[in-house]
């Protein structure tokens, strides 16, 4: 079914919340500010929703109703394909779902881009550990400095690879989302072991695994859980292979996750490092730089072993930028951008 | 939407028991046993990140891994009515338990990948010993005979890894020529009559199901451009159930290796089906499906194709294992 709403209807809507009042995802599951859509005017993006709501994207410059073609998903959810109007100006947009008298808005969920450059840089932040008291300076202040530094990089977007909270508490997620929303770049989040408390991560950010395109490059984010790393019993196995296949035509296929361990689940290893090896893999978790011998996964894959880059923890004031162009994926040195005392 | 469970519950005149995992997350995953006839579910595990349940050949015990203070331990529970008992082991990160054909021993993997080794718990001696001497890189053991294991042997240590089939006895390891060291194998499974061994391999460019017999050598029995995974032999050793992404989602298929005949068990482009386990009489297959939006136990009748979905059992489900008949 195709749905359209007009600008008049949008203006008539009651006051909207960013997500639900407690910060949890509400009607709109994806895109969200941890998994935004990157599109050019006239292009389409995918929506996962709890209902066949009417949708619009909006920012200070305008509000644009978006037409959505819906298909049902198992579990009572819906997947829609939405098209960004040609008139939408480049910039960050909130996505708003309206159903009956209810409205749900998630900010920084759609980024309209005029082009996808062939050469660009990406910021990598990991292990923000919001809510931790491990340093004299509050974790929120440290992480704010890190995101301020991210904003100054001129990167195309930012990967945030897990342990976003200290121990997965709802209040910590709420504070993390507030910090995340100070980022002026699109932010792509995956969970870490510290984020595992019931289904809090999923309630704030939705899918554990996903992929997206930036121009001709494919990025695949996945979950490594909290004890048995990238557990083979996880239904994530259903996703990794089709997602890897989906970005197979990419110029570069780049993976990102919270952690890499040599003994992580074999399905993830075989899918991403052996049978159809990624071109590069970014992660955190270690809270340190890689040592001299820690450069690539040890599998002897077709085309060579998968190189990896670990970025030290943001809670210790660190972040990294890597450059992507036609010739290479080039991690730059770690930047220390925040004091911890 | 029609209620799948209620419609089909009366169609299948099923019996038997299926062990499986249920939990909200890895942290509370617990072994349960379902009475297929009554639908009654009994919690038998620890709920401490329990691993896949493995029935003893007689069907009177279940082995599974679970978290304990030192790491991951192997537990055994007598069924019905027992309580989980920790298997004494040398290592502290133990998984993939597998019973010997006579039920007298339990092999398991200690550690992971580069450091992985094999221990065997002797039920009568109530003690575990290391198998394969000091060899490392031995994973996911299965029994080829009561005194001999087949493992996934990691080649090219420490940094040019592939894997192949490695035979392991108490004191020795022996690489086999059943697979090529140029590729990477996983999920090795011997047939019940112990005449053939099936395994996953990326020999051919993508993941395929390979069957090795002494007479025919290694044969690709699934042969598809999409990944084929997780071979599970039927109790009579004539068929292999396996998972494949050939339909766009993860689906269940079966192949008769002698004829290279592939049939669909349960596959749908709208959802995933995985983790097959044959009923002892081979008329049904238990599996996991996300057709209702989250992973749930289901049983399909192979003759009619009708499926019973156990979506009323709380939590996400995983790793079904049909209880064998025993003697």
Q: What local confidence, expressed as pLDDT, does residue A304 receive?
A: 87
Residue A17 corresponds to which tokens in the numbers above?
Answer: 């919340």
pLDDT, one tens digit per residue, over A94-152 is: 999 998 888 899 999 999 999 999 999 999 999 999 999 999 999 999 999 999 999 99
In angstroms, how far is the first alpha carbon of chain B from the final one?
43
| Chain B residue numbers touching A228 (CB-CB < 8 A) | 26, 49, 51, 72
Closest CA to B263 of B311, B323, B303: B303
For residue B205, give the chain A residue with the closest CA. Answer: A275
Q: What is the mean pLDDT of chain A?
A: 93
Q: What local confidence, expressed as pLDDT, does residue B193 receive?
A: 77
Q: How confident is the model at residue B11 (pLDDT cuts 50, 70, 90)?
A: very low
User: Hey, is the C-beta of B319 within 8 angstroms of any chain A C-beta?
Assistant: yes
Closest CA to A243 of A229, A257, A259, A225: A257
Average pLDDT over residues B272-294: 97
Give the whole-number percent of chain A exceeding pLDDT 90. 89
For residue A225, give the chain B residue with the closest CA. Answer: B26
Which residues numbered 74-103 in B keep a CB inside 8 Å of some CB on A? none
Q: What local confidence, expressed as pLDDT, does residue A4 receive?
A: 34
Residue B4 has pLDDT above 80, yes or no: no
Helices and strands of chain A, counted as H and E runs? 6, 21
For residue B110, give the chain A residue with the closest CA. Answer: A263
Which residues numbered 242-271 in B keep a CB inside 8 Å of some CB on A? 245, 248-250, 270-271
Suggest the residue from A168, A298, A307 to mutate for an interface test with chain B (most B CBs closer than 10 A): A298
Distances (CA, A) of A188 to A84, A219, A255, B186, B315: 20, 10, 12, 32, 28
For residues B326 and A13, which has the higher predicted lDDT (pLDDT)? B326
Long-range contact list for A303-306, CB < 8 A, 24+ apart? A303/A277, A304/A277, A305/A273, A305/A277, A305/B159, A305/B160, A306/A255, A306/A272, A306/A273, A306/A277, A306/A278, A306/A279, A306/A280, A306/A281
What is the count of residue pairs from A and B with beta carbons less than 8 Å apart?
102
pLDDT, one tens digit per residue, over A218-273 is: 999 999 999 999 999 999 999 999 999 999 999 999 999 999 999 999 999 999 99
Neighbouring residues of B92: CB distance < 8 A, sequence distance ≥ 6: B70, B71, B72, B73
Closest CA to B33 of B61, B5, B75: B61
Q: Round to whole Å and give the CA distance between B5 and A46.
A: 31
Residue corresponding to tokens 């009559």? B193
- The β-bridge relationship of strands A157-161 and A120-125 is parallel
Q: How confident is the model at residue B291 (pLDDT cuts 50, 70, 90)?
A: very high
Asked if A227 lies within 8 A of B27 by C-beta distance, the reply is: yes
| Chain B residue numbers touching A77 (CB-CB < 8 A) | 293
Asked if A75 lies within 8 A of B293 by C-beta distance, the reply is: yes
Q: Round to whole Å and give the CA distance between B296 and B314.
A: 9
ipTM of the complex as predicted:
0.93
Residue A12 has pLDDT above 90, yes or no: no
Give pTM, 2 decimals.
Answer: 0.94
Asked if B184 lies within 8 A of A235 by C-beta distance, the reply is: no
Residue corresponding to tokens 């039927």? B234
pLDDT, one tens digit per residue, over B167-178 is: 999 999 999 988
| Chain A residue numbers touching B160 (CB-CB < 8 A) | 298, 300, 305
Residue B198 has pLDDT above 70, yes or no: yes
Asked if A275 lies within 8 A of B207 by C-beta distance, the reply is: yes
Q: How confident is the model at residue B14 (pLDDT cuts 50, 70, 90)?
A: low
Q: Round to whole Å and give the CA distance between B187 and B64.
A: 17
- The string of DSSP codes covering A32-45 is BTTB-EEE-TT-EE
| Chain A residue numbers touching B31 (CB-CB < 8 A) | none
Which residues numbered 39-58 in B keep a CB inside 8 Å of some CB on A? 49, 51-52
Closest CA to B103 of B75, B66, B62, B131: B62
Q: Round to whole Å and give the CA distance between A148 and A172.
A: 19
pLDDT, one tens digit per residue, over A172-206 is: 999 999 999 999 999 999 999 999 998 999 999 99
pLDDT, one tens digit per residue, over B210-234 is: 999 999 999 999 999 999 999 999 9
Asked if A233 lies within 8 A of B159 by C-beta distance, the reply is: no
């Amino acid at each position: 079914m195709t749905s359209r709403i007009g600008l008049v209807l949008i203006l008539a809507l009651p006051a909207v919340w960013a997500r639900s009042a407690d910060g949890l995802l509400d009607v709109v599951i994806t895109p969200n500010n941890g998994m935004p859509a990157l599109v050019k005017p006239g292009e389409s993006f995918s929506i996962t929703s709890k209902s066949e709501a009417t949708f619009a994207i909006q920012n200070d410059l305008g509000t644009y109703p978006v037409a959505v073609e819906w298909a049902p998903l198992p579990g009572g959810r819906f997947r829609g394909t939405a098209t960004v109007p040609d008139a939408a100006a480049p910039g960050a947009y909130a996505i708003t779902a309206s159903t009956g008298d209810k409205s749900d808005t998630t900010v920084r969920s759609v980024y309209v881009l005029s082009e996808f450059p062939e050469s660009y840089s990406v910021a990598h932040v990991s292990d923000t550990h919001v809510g931790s008291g491990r340093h004299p300076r509050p974790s929120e202040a440290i992480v704010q400095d890190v995101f301020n530094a991210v904003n100054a990089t001129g990167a195309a977007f930012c990967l945030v690879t897990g342990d976003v909270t200290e121990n997965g508490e709802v209040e910590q997620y709420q504070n993390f989302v507030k910090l995340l929303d100070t980022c002026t770049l699109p932010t792509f989040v995956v969970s870490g072991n510290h984020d595992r408390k019931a289904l809090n991560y999923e309630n704030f950010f939705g899918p554990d695994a996903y992929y997206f395109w930036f121009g001709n490059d494919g990025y695949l984010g996945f979950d490594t859980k909290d004890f048995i790393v990238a557990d083979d019993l996880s239904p994530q196995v259903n996703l990794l292979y089709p997602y890897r296949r989906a970005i197979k035509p990419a110029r570069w296929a780049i993976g990102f996750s919270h952690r890499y361990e040599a003994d992580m689940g074999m399905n993830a290893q075989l899918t991403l490092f052996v049978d159809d090896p990624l071109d590069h893999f970014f992660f955190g978790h270690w809270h340190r730089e890689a040592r001299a011998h820690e450069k690539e996964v040890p599998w002897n894959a077709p085309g060579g072993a998968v190189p990896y880059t670990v970025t030290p923890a943001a809670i210790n004031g660190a972040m990294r930028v890597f450059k992507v162009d036609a010739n290479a994926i080039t991690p730059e040195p770690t930047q220390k951008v925040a004091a911890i005392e | 939407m029609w209620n799948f469970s209620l419609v089909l519950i009366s169609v299948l005149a099923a019996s038997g028991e299926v062990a499986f995992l249920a939990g909200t997350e890895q942290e509370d995953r617990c072994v349960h046993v379902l009475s297929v006839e009554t639908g009654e579910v009994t919690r038998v595990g620890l709920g401490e990140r329990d691993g896949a349940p493995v029935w003893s050949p007689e069907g009177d015990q279940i082995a599974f891994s679970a978290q304990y203070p030192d790491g991951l331990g192997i537990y055994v529970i007598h069924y019905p009515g027992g309580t989980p008992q920790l298997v004494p082991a040398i290592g502290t990160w133990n998984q993939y338990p597998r019973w010997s054909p006579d039920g007298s021993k339990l092999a398991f993997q200690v550690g992971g990948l580069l450091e992985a080794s094999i221990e065997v718990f002797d039920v009568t001696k109530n003690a575990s010993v290391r198998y394969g001497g000091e060899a490392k890189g031995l994973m996911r053991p299965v029994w080829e005979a009561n005194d001999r294991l087949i493992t996934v042997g990691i080649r090219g240590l420490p940094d040019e890894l592939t894997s192949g089939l490695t035979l392991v006895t108490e004191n020795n390891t022996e690489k086999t020529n059943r697979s090529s060291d140029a590729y990477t194998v996983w999920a090795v499974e011997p047939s019940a009559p112990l005449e053939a061994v099936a395994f996953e391999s990326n020999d051919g460019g993508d993941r395929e199901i390979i069957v090795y017999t002494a007479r025919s050598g290694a044969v690709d029995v699934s042969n598809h451009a999409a990944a084929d995974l997780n071979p599970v032999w039927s109790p009579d050793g004539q068929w292999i159930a396996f998972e494949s992404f050939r339909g766009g989602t993860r689906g269940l298929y079966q192949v008769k290796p002698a004829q290279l005949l592939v049939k669909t068990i349960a596959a749908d482009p709208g959802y995933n089906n995985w983790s097959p386990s044959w009923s002892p009489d081979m008329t049904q297959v238990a599996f996991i499906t996300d057709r209702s939006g989250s992973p749930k136990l289901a049983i399909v009748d192979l003759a009619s194709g009708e499926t019973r979905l156990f979506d009323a059992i709380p939590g996400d489900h995983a790793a079904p294992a049909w209880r064998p008949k025993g003697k």
